[in-house]
Amino acid sequence: MTARTPRPPPLYRLVSLDAVDSTNDEAKRLAEDGAAEEWTLVWARAQTAGRGRHGRSWESPEGNLYCSLLLKPACPPGQAAEIGFVAGLAVYDAIGSLVPPGLEAWCKWPNDILLGDAKVAGVLLESQAPGWLVLGTGINVARYPTDAEFPATSLWEQGARGVMAEDMLEAFCRHFLAWYNRWRDEGFAPIRARWLQRARGLDEEISVRLVGETVGGVFAGLDDDGALILEGLDGDRRIVAGDIFFT
Ligand code: BTN
């Protein structure tokens, strides 16, 4: 199939690359050089040093979507994590618009998307002084790692074989813009409410792996800033970073 150049909505400034170490790192370099404006979107067909959350690597062969968006949101740094949930909803909706009906997608805290029981997408939000945010999104379109700690899948594996990374980029950009505008105009409340409607494991027993310990409890909801509320025998605990597992 011939490669085509995707056409995101006009606000985005697309930087297309065949390969790069990490689109997040490339976006940061552009911001540092003063060469980039807000809504610059770095998209690469492959990454040689793709990164995931908590310093993990992100397998990045050709066929999947790897993109990083430069944003300069007018919000205090403490609220920036909310944009990860905005991105999660955009990925969820983008996938929903392209996969055959009947495939069940879920939001997994904090910003992953699952198809069935397996992870199909992840988000890596990083800050870049002064005031820049880099929103990195990876979606397993055609390929997925078979040795990931949390089981992974791809859109193709789940039956959406005709979908290409370019289609997914365009859909993600459209949905992200809509959700981002909603967040800017109405705040985190509608994002949080929508995310909770689609959340996997809500009101169920989960375990959460933190640095140096794993804790269990009931996934009772999200705090006003996106922290996970874990209801345990000793009371509620707010968790701002970790990996959750369903039991
Ligand atoms: C995770 O679930 O751990 C987050 C994965 C984020 C991967 C994307 S791919 C595009 C961007 N560039 C990177 O190096 N990482 C993010």
Question: pLDDT per residue over 100-156, tens digit each?
Answer: 888 899 999 999 999 999 999 999 999 987 889 999 999 999 999 999 989 999 999
Q: Encode pLDDT of 198-214 as tens digits.
A: 999 999 999 999 999 99
pLDDT-based confidence at 192, cuts 50/70/90?
very high
CA 66 to ligand 1 centroid distance, Å? 7
Mean of the pLDDT values across residues 150-171?
96
| pLDDT at residue 68 is higher than 80 | yes
Q: Report residues whose beta carbon is within 6 angstroms of any ligand 1 atom.
A: 22-24, 47, 50-53, 56, 58, 66-68, 112, 122-124, 136-138
| pLDDT at residue 83 is higher than 80 | yes
Distance CA 65, CA 62 (A): 8
Nearest CA residue ID for atom 11, ligand 1: 136
Q: Which amino acid is at 246?
A: F
- Whether residue 125 contacts residue 83, with contact meaning beta carbons closer than 8 Å, is answered with yes
Nearest CA residue ID for atom 9, ligand 1: 138
CA 202 to ligand 1 centroid distance, Å? 25
Q: What are phi and psi of 123, to 5 degrees?
A: -130, 135
Q: Encode pLDDT of 6-54 as tens digits.
A: 999 999 999 999 999 999 999 999 999 887 899 999 999 999 999 999 9
Closest CA to 217 of 202, 199, 205: 205
CB neighbours of residue 135 within 10 Å: 26
| 3-state secondary structure at position 181 | helix
Residue 34: predicted pLDDT: 85
pLDDT-based confidence at 4, cuts 50/70/90?
confident
Q: Which long-range contacts (CB under 8 A, 24 or more apart) does 44-47 make?
A: 44/16, 44/17, 44/18, 44/19, 44/20, 45/3, 45/17, 45/18, 45/19, 45/165, 46/18, 46/19, 47/19, 47/20, 47/21, 47/22, 47/23
CA 122 to ligand 1 centroid distance, Å? 6
pLDDT-based confidence at 2, cuts 50/70/90?
low
Distance CA 83, CA 124 (A): 11
CA 50 to ligand 1 centroid distance, Å? 6
CA-based torsion, 60, 128, 31, 225: positive or negative: positive
- Going by the DSSP 8-state scheme, the letter that residue 100 receives in this structure is P
Mean per-residue pLDDT of the chain: 95
Which percentage of the chain shows pLDDT scores above 70?
99
Residue 29: predicted pLDDT: 95
CA 136 to ligand 1 centroid distance, Å? 5
Nearest CA residue ID for atom 15, ligand 1: 51
Closest CA to 103 of 146, 51, 161: 161
CB neighbours of residue 157 within 10 Å: 17
Distance CA 75, CA 38 (A): 15
Residue 18: predicted pLDDT: 97
CA-based torsion, 31, 33, 37, 41: positive or negative: negative
